[in-house]
Amino acid sequence: MIPVMHLDADVRGILESLPDLAGYGAAAPMLPAACYTSPEFFEFERRHVFTRSWICVGRQEQIPAPGDYLTPKIGDEPLLVVRREDGSIGAMSAVCQHRGQVIATEPGSAGRAFRCPLHFWRYDLEGSLVAATRIDDDAIHDCLRDTVRLPVVRLENWHGFLFVTLDEDAAPLGPGLAKLEPFWEGYEDADLVAVPPTMSDTPLPWNWKIHAENFTDAYHPEFVHVGTHDFAPSIHPDGGVEITPMTAGDNAIVRTVPLLRPDGGMMEDGWGPEAEFPAIETLSAEQRSHVTFAMIPPGMTIIFAPGAVSYQLIGAIGVEATLASNDRVTAGGWLLPRSTFEAEDFEERAAAVRAGGKKIWVQDIPVNLGVQSGKKSRFAPDGRHYMPLETTLEQFNAWLLRMYHAAWKAIA
Ligand code: FES
Ligand SMILES: [Fe+2]
């Protein structure tokens, strides 16, 4: 159940100025600048869009043993994502059903049961109440145990990535990501090891959509990333970027670019021929000569490169405050063959990959600041001038439009 809020007049005005949904399954015009600058609109997104989306909260390897849990927060909802006794993974509310204490806010291990810190009620790993304290009457205790449980939240495990949604009616995650399946081919035959990232705790001073657009924009690398991205060009005489078509049910925005030589990847100076993470032998020749950038809005990006899958989690905490976990700001966010991970020089190679990623990142910072700043201008453009290489941005607009309209309809 999603709480209904009074729709702020400014938010209503922005929603009313959005294009109709009809005709925009695959691509949509630029959205009003206020979608990037209005704190009220961000609050609408936080409470009504993110809560209706599938959000990646981590990897299954982060909770290997029964009782291990993560503590994501979606919108205002603190959650527990836990490995149960039978090895399956489930999600539920972290709010104790006695008086509403949040049971845990940091990841950890609960053993066989969660214990609420306020009055020590205990819940098993499925969320059922197993013990309340100081109740002498067995009948009352039994009744509580039969009726009290932590509300269940939907979770899907997609290639080891754990996604949750608070929307009981959300379409299943898997079909919305079907267009990414071909890119997984061969990776999971390589005995992958997950190196989860750390979420940065320093907010980036721009809107989460600007962060996502920067990731998915195939037009800017040749200008902004001179020297670091030339090896993975969007334009190439033998065929440049390929943008996977978008349909109305898609939850992914995908582009694939060629590498100038097979088996290239991230080096200390950015994309280059001598990848620090060696190419994965189970990949096809096609995969070993391309890199695919996929955005899974609103909270995740993933890159399929010849030597690694790398991913980033994005957490929006304010209209101009975005947290990111990636191998550019923090560390990790990789799926790597065990042979890569266990190599003696792994730490040096990982440091070089981070350095390369950071060089790209440092080039992106001023342009993200510039775009955020431009959104506040009375002269902010209305987006009539998208170029062909910006199809992914129009696809992202279509996704946003769909989510905004759905949220608006649900609370109107
Ligand atoms: S609020 Fe959790 S036991 Fe009382
Ligand atoms: Fe960039």
Q: What pLDDT score was predicted for residue 384?
A: 77
3-state secondary structure of 332: coil
Q: Could you give the percent of the chain with pLDDT greater than 90? A: 86
The string of pLDDT tens digits covering residues 329-344 is 566 699 999 999 999 9
Atom 1 in ligand 1: which residue has the minimum CA distance?
A: 99
pLDDT in tens, 165-218: 999 999 999 999 999 999 999 999 999 999 998 878 889 999 999 999 999 999
> Closest ligand to 371 CA?
2
What would the 3-class secondary structure string for 351-412 be? HHHHHHHHHHHHHHHHHHHHHHHHHCCCCCCCCCCCCHHHHHHHHHHHHHHHHHHHHHHHHC
Question: Which atom of ligand 1 lies closest to the CA of 133?
Answer: 3
CA atoms within 13 A on the CB side of 61: 12
Measuring from atom 4 of ligand 1, which residue has the nearest CA?
119
Residues 366-392: pLDDT tens digits? 999 999 999 999 999 987 789 999 999
Mean pLDDT within 91-106? 98
Choose the residue to mutate in 119, 145, 148 for probing ligand 1, maximizing ligand atoms within 8 Å of C-beta: 119
Which residue in 102, 110, 91 sits closest to 151, CA to CA? 91
Domains 56-158 and 176-405 share a fold: no
d(CA 334, CA 59): 11
As for ligand 1, residues whose beta carbon falls within 6 Å of it are 96, 98-99, 101, 116, 118-119, 121
Closest ligand by atom to 134 CA: 1
Point out the ligand nearest to the CA of residue 104. Answer: 1
- pTM of the predicted structure, to 2 decimals: 0.95
- Structural fold of domain 56-158: Rieske Iron-sulfur Protein (2.102.10)
Q: Which atom of ligand 1 is nearest to the CA of 116?
A: 2
Residue range 176-405 in CATH 3.90.380.10: yes
Q: How many CB atoms neighbour CB 410 within 10 A? A: 13
Show me where the domains of the chain are located: 56-158, 176-405
